[in-house]
Amino acid sequence: MAALSGVRWLTRVAVAARYPAAWRSLSTSATAQAASQSQVQDVTVEGAFPVTMLPGDGVGPELMHAVKEVFKAAAVPVEFQEHHLSEVQNMASEEKLEQVLSSMKENKVAIIGKIHTPMEYKGELASYDMRLRRKLDLFANVVHVKSLPGYVTRHNNLDLVIIREQTEGEYSSLEHESARGVIECLKIVTRTKSQRIAKFAFDYATKNGRNKVTAVHKANIMKLGDGLFLQCCEDVAELYPKIKFETMIIDNCCMQLVQNPYQFDVLVMPNLYGNIIDNLAAGLVGGAGVVPGESYSAEYAVFEMGARHPFAQAVGRNIANPTAMLLSASNMLRHLNLEYHANMIADAVKKVIKVGKVRTRDMGGYSTTTDFIKSVIGHLHPHGG
């Protein structure tokens, strides 16, 4: 079984066993379709799916408010268990981290905002965000970069997927001063984790009808570290003869993405390169506000923005774009097999953007976050109805 479909199947089985009422609610879509929007807003669903919510920093709380408002209007059978973890708001401690971990391990599914990482060194090299991902072994970050119909950017009709290994590499938090004025920062690359992310990428490509996987590396310079990653990708590629396999050096990849992004399908890469490429690719289709993301372990699924930015300068100004978070929330519902609600929300968001009357400042408009939320709610309707 493919790595991605495996984690989704395990999550659904675990949630269905604990919350049968929520699972049975899938069969009530016909009833929901007959309800008017005003009736939908008043529906309270019992036995809802439990999901951990971590608003994070910056505009994260405002974006999570958007998710909750839209979910309420769409009568989504999800119950959010909200926790707060922030290094910049003095809401981070070992106790809070354990509370978050306990909730996420119990629920198996989470939606999170950006947990900002301060640059100042205060005795701990690993940020709470990194520690959270490591403890849950969220090894695969998936960012689907896709153009939104009606929103014209430099490149249109783009559709590519970036898969990033996010538990080792340059994010290993192994740094020390070997001599005065000399810092050594260790990049860790292991065969086990390189093979795992490569297999995940090829499984993803197979499951989603993709034709090509490109391994991104810098093995010409880091001959052993990136060389091992590249070798693992090549070995795994041999097991998938129907998927075309290519390799590309990271610096060339950045240039090619700007010049001709249409040549790419699925890209797989180590940690730091993935962070850079996620942001670069998001910029091709409109920026951090429009690209959703998700992270997987063997047991857990976490939904978030594809390009992780706190957008602190927008806090409290009611100008943040909730598109990425709403699309990510829609992907979360699809992960839970709530296809009806997932399609309803995703279609409403895309319809608002396609119509073009309500757009936030990052998309060239003057609408507020509240305007966008209201417009999405106004476009909610039974999928296919």
> Domain count of the chain?
2
Boundaries of domain holding 311: 47-139+289-384
Q: How confident is the model at residue 2 (pLDDT cuts 50, 70, 90)?
A: very low
Judge if 303 and 355 occupy the same domain.
yes
pLDDT over 80 at 45, yes or no: no
The pLDDT assigned to 6 comes to 54
Q: Looking at the structure, do residues 161 and 261 belong to the same domain, yes or no?
A: yes
The verdict on 166 and 97 lying in the same domain is: no
pLDDT of 10 above 80: no
Report pLDDT for 92: 67
* Beta sheet of 292-296, edge-to-edge order: 78-82, 49-54, 109-112, 301-305, 292-296, 140-146, 159-165, 266-269, 212-217, 244-249
State yes or no: pLDDT of 328 exceeds 50. Answer: yes
One domain, residues 159 and 233 = yes
| Residue in 221, 233, 224 with CA at minimum distance from that of residue 194 | 233
Q: Which residue has the higher pLDDT, 323 or 4?
A: 323
Residues 261 and 324 in one domain: no
Q: How confident is the model at residue 120 (pLDDT cuts 50, 70, 90)?
A: confident
Q: 194 in a domain, yes or no? A: yes
Which of 266, 285, 304 marks a domain boundary?
285
Please tell me whether residues 175 and 267 are part of one structural domain.
yes
In a domain, 369, yes or no: yes
Q: Work out the pLDDT band at 353, boundaries 50, 70, 90.
A: very high
Same domain, yes or no: 297 and 278 = no
State yes or no: pLDDT of 285 exceeds 60.
yes
Please, what is the average pLDDT of the chain? 86
- Structural domain includes residue 314: yes
Residues 165 and 273 in one domain: yes
With bands split at pLDDT 50, 70 and 90, how would you rate the model's confidence at 316? confident
For 163-206, the pLDDT digits (tens) are 999 999 998 888 898 999 999 999 999 999 999 999 999 999 99
Task: Provide mean pLDDT across the span 228-248.
Answer: 98
Report which of residues 310 and 64 the model is more confident about.
64
Given a cut of 80, whether residue 19 has pLDDT beyond it is no
Is residue 29 predicted with pLDDT exceeding 70? no
Among 285, 316, 346, which residue terminates a domain? 285
pLDDT (average), residues 36-61: 68
Q: Is 279 inside any structural domain?
A: yes
Q: What percent of the chain has pLDDT over 90?
A: 69
- Are 172 and 131 contained in the same domain? no
- Phi and psi of 102, rounded to 5°? -60, -45
- The residue that leads in pLDDT, 353 or 308, is 353
Residue 120 in any domain: the answer is yes
Whether residue 342 sits in one domain with residue 239: no
Q: What is the pLDDT of residue 225?
A: 96
Most confident of 18-22, 52-56, 166-170, 210-214: 210-214
Q: Report pLDDT for 123.
A: 63
Is 24 contained in some domain? no
305 lies in the same domain as 354:
yes
Residue 324 lies in a domain: yes
Does residue 251 sit in the same domain as residue 158? yes
Q: Is residue 166 part of a domain?
A: yes
Which of 285, 313, 343 is at the close of a domain?
285
CATH (domain of 203):
3.40.718.10
